Chain A
Amino acid sequence: MPEPEFKEDEVLTRASEGDRESFGLLYERYVDRIFNYVYYRTGNLHDAEDLTARVFQRAMNHIKNYTDRGVPFSAWLYRIAHNLVANWHRDRSRKQEIPLDDLPILPAKGDHPERNLVRSQEQDALLRLIRRLPPERQSLLILKFVENMSNSEIGEIMGRSEGAVKSLYHRTLLALRDQLGDQNINLEGE
């Protein structure tokens, strides 16, 4: 069924007045993207599901407080996800749980479900290295590559300027390259 067309401003107004169907439209539009972000940040499906639900529950409870001060609704939603994932990591480190290295494989969007269910060794190694980066750098890479966002959009979510995001991205690439070299991982050409 095609996605119903709607103007986000109008839907946001109705949703902030407590209209559950309008909130449902926003949920439909963003659930996949938020799930993707949380999935890559947590590394497991169970927590990705739980945290995605909490993101939307929190958004629904606080949507009255959302006012468009130049920050798009999507950035507001990602900020909620960003904070919840940070809390989740903090709780895990307090409980001294072992970090999850192996991300469960899900089919990429647009691919046939039976295709692409195997990751190359290089991809596994790269994912492991990404998951050991500081949280902000992980978020940056996920927002840039998975969510396909520009530096300014990422800046809105992370509360940094566009220039600061650009610089952090460059430092992240250099750090990843050095770690790949330290571990003798050779990335073959694509």
Chain B
Amino acid sequence: MTKRKQTPTPDEELNALEAHLAGTLKPVAPPKDIIQRLRDKVHVPAREEIVLRLRDWRSLFFIFGGVMSGMLVIITVARALFYLSGRRHTG
């Protein structure tokens, strides 16, 4: 017995069309030269530059945090010594 080719239902037709649309309308990768020219036109810094500056900013933040913490420790120790020496004089 030969198989008869069935006429697709409207739903099947639309599903097939959707599958073709998904295969046709794909995201493309813009050429690198276009991305470079775009960056120049919009005047934004290069990606690498942004990442490096962010890293600089982060390291500056850590240095600043380190210095501040160090100063707090020194001040606390100095105050403790001052307090202890004051007690010795009065005692």
Q: Which residues of A line the B interface, CB within 8 A?
A: 1, 4, 20-21, 23-25, 27-28, 31-33, 35-36, 39-40, 45, 48-49, 52-53, 56-57, 60, 106-109, 119, 122-123, 126-127, 130, 141-142, 145-148, 173-174, 176-177, 180, 187, 189-190
Contact = CB atoms under 8 A, between A and B. Distances in A.
A1 B28 contact: no
Contacts of A108: 26-29
Nearest to A105: B28
Contacts of A57: 41-42
Interface size range of chain B in the complex: 20 to 34
Contact of B23 (A40, A53, A190): A190
14 contacts: A20-B43, A32-B27, A45-B34, A49-B34, A52-B38, A107-B28, A108-B27, A122-B20, A123-B20, A126-B24, A173-B14, A177-B13, A187-B20, A190-B23
B18 A173 contact: yes
Nearest to B44: A24
Given A145-B21, A146-B27, A35 B34 contact: yes
A1 B49 CA distance: 11
Interface in B53-71: 53-54
A79 to B, nearest CB: 18
Contacts, number: 115
Closest 4 CB pairs of A and B: A145-B25, A106-B28, A24-B44, A53-B41
B29 A107 contact: yes
B47 A28 contact: yes
B23 to A, nearest CB: 6
Given A145-B25, A190-B23, 6 more contacts: A27-B42, A31-B30, A35-B34, A53-B38, A141-B21, A180-B17
B37 interface: yes
B23 A109 contact: no
Main secondary structure of the interface of A (DSSP, over half): helix
B14 A141 contact: no
B16 interface: yes
Nearest to B20: A187
A106 B20 CA distance: 18
B30 A32 contact: yes
B78 to A, nearest CB: 37
Given A142-B25, A146-B25, A189 B16 contact: yes
Given A176-B17, A187-B16, A187-B17, A20 B28 contact: no
A149 to B, nearest CB: 12
